Amino acid sequence: MNVLLDEQEVRQGVNRMAGDITAAFQDKSLTIVGVLTGSVVLLADLIRLVDLPMRVGVVHASSYRGATTIRGPLVINSDLMPDISDRDVLVVDDIFDTGNTMVELLSLMEKLGPSSVKTAVLLRKKARCEVDLQPDFIGFDIPNEFVVGYGLDYQDAYRNLPFVGTLEPDEINSTPP
């Protein structure tokens, strides 16, 4: 595995994002909704760093199953999401790849009547974007490589790494530790 963003770089990027989010929502109460499971690490760090009154919830959205790296149909479970009507909402996700997941999530959320909805992602792959939407807060732009760590996984492994790394082709085709 190659280190793309080391632990210090990730920490600096998350701190910068938290400052930008705090400034953007100044004097507002915020509802932060993390997209499970990849955003858990980022979500935990952001809610400790964003200096605003807030509520926190999660939504589960997945389009990848098992060992595949090919996108399938998106399945959204919003049962754990708090009421967002008349609230300022920040959707937090680990990666903005094609953008399709975020577009579908925002479509669902708009139907629930929030005052505003903004998005924050740790990573964005500009080269893969298939939608007109862009995240409001971005930790890092990265190349089109398969990444793991800091919440991102391959077959449910590597989420616990404190850095973001890229897997070699032979690592992608093997069973993770």
Q: Which residues contact 49 (CB under 8 A, 6 or more apart)?
A: 14, 15, 18, 19
Question: How far, CA to CA in Å, does 68 sit from each of 56, 143, 153, 154, 173?
Answer: 30, 20, 12, 9, 10
Identify whether the C-beta of residue 131 lies closer than 8 Å to the C-beta of residue 100.
yes
Backbone φ and ψ for 127, nearest 5 degrees, come out as -70, -20
Q: Which of the following is catalytic: 45, 93, 97, 153? A: 97
Residue 110 to residue 73: CA distance in whole angstroms: 21
Mark whether 97 is an active-site residue.
Answer: yes
3-class DSSP assignment, residue 8: helix
Residue 160 to residue 163: CA distance in whole angstroms: 9
Cite the active site residues. 97
